[in-house]
């Protein structure tokens, strides 16, 4: 096996662990709540703290990789993630668990920011889509395996096992990554923009916290208004700082590139649409149709399974014909899948749900690898880390927007549907009203994904098989020894 494919296995292990940890915890939250004797609002911070920290640090770590080398940041991220997992499993109380989850998220952010960058440096332009597609299988496995594995470990042992299992896997992954990923020379004359990193981190933290808790706290509450104002002020300060910095954390000129900016816009709306579905469907299945949490988790697996099957092929196709057509077609399937979900009845047969979820899975599978390849391939080699971190950041932003938007729509439309049905608000009436409100949210999500069709189409087309910015001659891919070679 060529060394580059071995490097991809090290990257895929990081993608698997980071994704798996994000999906495995949810199923164990009731057990953690019972063990510590806490309320629902408090237990939510086990998830929220992780997402906030990851979402705040992806941009800085993307840049840090360019300064310190991708390998150092990636292996360090694995070590932090693994050690923090052990402390999470041994946490004596909820405060310690939330704190260690935040530390764990630091390691996860390092893995997520560096994975695509290492792939882009390793593979030439003619193979990058295929490599990213294969890496997408790890993401899909993590998404689909998490709920089932989390339920099994929690039931067979305790909730602590979902964290402790990361220790042996993490140690092996660290050794493998250290041996396989080639060493690089730190960026000569490069410096890390600490002020820009702080401003971007706090600005994104404020935005994501507002989007996460806006529905619960009230969108017009002083706390949410203050957080949104802080995001605007800190974001403006970040832009001013980056324009003046000698070595900015992110080169704002990159956004003048249509493939870069259009690709980032596309990923925000794609993940907003996907997470509208994955956030609301459990409520539809459990509160509307009466399924158990484990049954609902299993019913949602057609999405990641289909993604895993489609992503490698879409990557190969994008290498041959360019990313524009497969990415745009993926957004079309996303729109079709979301619109089809608006017709899903409360009482349905299994095939009625499966084929709709397969449409969503096809859409994401077609979209992800070509879009990621296009974004990373549109920047100079010395900015691949920034592009990788920004791409991961936009995915998190899309998730937060999707959850916030869908929650607001359901909360607004549910009373209207209840009033339209009339009569006493029985369990049956509330189920129908909830389904109607969720259907409304799916319509809005489909319209949002429709924007993604446009942004994918206007990105322009790259000539497949030719060197692009990330692997152009002089900006080459990494060989096993870490030296640059011309991209093909």
| Domain CATH for 318 | 1.20.1250.20
Residue 474 has what pLDDT? 41
Task: Clarify whether residues 112 and 157 are in a common domain.
Answer: yes
**Per-residue confidence at 472, pLDDT binned at 50, 70, 90?**
very low
Residue 487 lies in a domain: no
Higher pLDDT, 229 or 43: 229
Higher pLDDT, 357 or 480: 357
Mean pLDDT of 244-262: 85
Task: Clarify whether residues 453 and 349 are in a common domain.
Answer: yes
Give the pLDDT confidence of 172-224 residue by residue, as tens digits.
999 999 999 988 777 666 778 888 888 988 998 898 888 878 877 888 899 99
Residue 9 lies in a domain: yes
Is the model's pLDDT at 127 over the cut of 50? yes
Task: Clarify whether residues 106 and 157 are in a common domain.
Answer: yes
Task: Clarify whether residues 274 and 410 are in a common domain.
Answer: yes
Residue 112 lies in a domain: yes
Residue 485 lies in a domain: no
Q: Which two tokens stand for residue 463?
A: 């000539």
Residue 105 lies in a domain: yes
Range of weakest confidence among 126-130, 304-308, 425-429, 462-466: 462-466
Residue 171 has what pLDDT? 93
Task: Clarify whether residues 214 and 240 are in a common domain.
Answer: yes
Task: Return the CA Rg of the chain.
Answer: 22
Instruction: Give the number of other Cβ atoms within 10 Å of residue 41's Cβ.
Output: 9
Query: How high does pLDDT run on average in the chain?
Result: 84
Residue 117 has what pLDDT? 86
Residue 317 lies in a domain: yes
Residue 484 lies in a domain: no
**Per-residue confidence at 482, pLDDT binned at 50, 70, 90?**
very low
Domain that holds residue 157: 1-184
Residue 361 lies in a domain: yes
> Nearest 5°: phi and psi at 484?
-75, 140
Residue 98 has what pLDDT? 92
Residue 188 has what pLDDT? 66
Task: Clarify whether residues 79 and 170 are in a common domain.
Answer: yes
Give the pLDDT confidence of 29-65 residue by residue, as tens digits.
778 888 898 876 687 788 888 888 888 888 889 888 8
**Per-residue confidence at 135, pLDDT binned at 50, 70, 90?**
confident
Task: Clarify whether residues 110 and 125 are in a common domain.
Answer: yes
Give the pLDDT confidence of 141-151 residue by residue, as tens digits.
887 777 778 77
Is the model's pLDDT at 454 over the cut of 50? yes
Give the pLDDT confidence of 362-416 residue by residue, as tens digits.
999 999 889 988 888 888 887 888 888 888 888 888 888 888 888 888 888 888 9
Task: Clarify whether residues 136 and 202 are in a common domain.
Answer: no
Residue 120 has what pLDDT? 82
In the listed set 140, 155, 184, which residue is the last one of a domain according to the structure? 184
Burial of 143 (0-12, 13-18, 19+ CB in 10 A): buried
Residue 389 has what pLDDT? 86
In the listed set 231, 248, 265, which residue is the last one of a domain according to the structure? 248
Is the model's pLDDT at 9 over the cut of 80? yes
Q: Which two tokens stand for residue 422?
A: 């009339």
Task: Clarify whether residues 228 and 313 are in a common domain.
Answer: no
Q: Got the DSSP string for 385-445?
A: HHHHHHHHHHHHHHHHHHHHHHHHHHHHHHHHHHHHH-S---HHHHHHHHHHHHHHHHHHH
Q: How many domains does the chain have?
A: 3
Task: Clarify whether residues 244 and 350 are in a common domain.
Answer: no
Range of weakest confidence among 6-10, 87-91, 386-390: 386-390
Residue 463 has what pLDDT? 47
Residue 342 has what pLDDT? 92
Residue 423 has what pLDDT? 64
Is the model's pLDDT at 76 over the cut of 50? yes
Residue 476 has what pLDDT? 39
Mean pLDDT of 258-283: 88
Residue 96 has what pLDDT? 95
Question: Long-range pairs for 206-209 at CB < 8 Å and ≥24 separation?
Answer: 206/230, 206/231, 206/234, 207/231, 207/397, 207/400, 208/51, 208/52, 208/55, 208/56, 208/396, 208/397, 208/400, 209/48, 209/52
Task: Clarify whether residues 173 and 44 are in a common domain.
Answer: yes
Higher pLDDT, 56 or 335: 335
In the listed set 136, 155, 184, which residue is the last one of a domain according to the structure? 184
Q: In angstroms, what CA-CA distances link 115 with 65, 146, 165, 382? A: 11, 20, 22, 15
Mean pLDDT of 285-291: 81
**Per-residue confidence at 461, pLDDT binned at 50, 70, 90?**
low
Task: Clarify whether residues 85 and 160 are in a common domain.
Answer: yes
């Amino acid at each position: 096996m060529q060394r580059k494919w071995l490097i991809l296995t090290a990257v895929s292990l990081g993608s698997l662990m980071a994704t798996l940890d994000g999906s495995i915890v949810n199923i164990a939250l009731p057990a953690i709540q019972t063990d510590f004797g806490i309320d629902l609002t408090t237990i939510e911070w086990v998830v929220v703290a992780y997402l906030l920290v990851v979402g705040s640090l992806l941009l800085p770590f993307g840049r840090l990789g360019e300064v310190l080398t991708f390998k150092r940041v990636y292996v360090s991220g694995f070590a932090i993630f693994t050690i923090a997992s052990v402390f999470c499993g041994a946490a004596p109380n909820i405060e310690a668990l939330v704190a260690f989850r935040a530390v764990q998220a630091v390691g996860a952010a390092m893995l997520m920011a560096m994975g695509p960058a290492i792939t882009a440096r390793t593979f030439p332009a003619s193979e990058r889509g295929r490599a990213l597609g294969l890496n997408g299988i790890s993401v899909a496995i993590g998404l689909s395996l998490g709920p089932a594995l989390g339920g099994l470990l929690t039931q067979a042992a305790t909730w602590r096992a979902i964290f402790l299992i990361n220790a042996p896997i993490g140690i092996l992954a660290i050794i493998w990554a250290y041996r396989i990923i080639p060493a690089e020379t730190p960026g000569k004359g490069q410096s890390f923009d600490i002020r820009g990193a702080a401003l971007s981190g706090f600005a994104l933290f404020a935005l994501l916290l507002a989007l996460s808790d806006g529905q619960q706290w009230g969108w017009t509450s002083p706390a949410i208004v203050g957080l949104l104002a802080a995001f605007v002020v800190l974001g403006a300060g970040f832009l001013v700082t980056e324009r003046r910095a000698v070595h900015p954390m992110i080169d704002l000129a990159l956004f003048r590139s249509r493939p870069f900016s259009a690709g980032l816009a596309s990923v925000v709306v794609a993940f907003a649409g996907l997470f509208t579905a994955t956030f609301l469907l459990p409520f539809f299945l459990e509160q509307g149709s009466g399924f158990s949490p484990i049954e609902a988790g299993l019913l949602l697996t057609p999405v990641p399974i289909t993604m895993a099957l489609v992503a490698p092929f879409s990557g190969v196709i994008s290498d041959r014909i360019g990313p524009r057509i497969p990415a745009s077609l993926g957004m079309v399937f996303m729109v079709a899948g979301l619109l089809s979900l608006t017709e899903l009845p409360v009482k349905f047969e299994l095939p009625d749900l499966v084929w709709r979820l397969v449409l969503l899975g096809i859409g994401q599978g077609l979209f992800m690898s070509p879009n990621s390849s296009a974004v990373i391939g549109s920047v100079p080699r010395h900015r691949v880390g920034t592009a990788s971190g920004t791409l991961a950041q936009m995915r998190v932003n899309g998730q937060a927007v999707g959850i916030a938007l869908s929650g607001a729509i359901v909360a607004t439309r549910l009373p209207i549907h209840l009033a339209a049905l009339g009569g006493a608000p029985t369990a049956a009436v509330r189920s129908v009203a909830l389904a109607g409100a969720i259907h409304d949210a799916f319509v809005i999500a489909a319209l949002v994904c429709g924007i993604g069709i446009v942004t994918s189409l206007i990105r322009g087309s790259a000539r497949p098989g030719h060197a692009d910015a990330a692997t152009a001659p002089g900006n080459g891919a990494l060989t096993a020894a870490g030296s640059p070679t011309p991209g093909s």
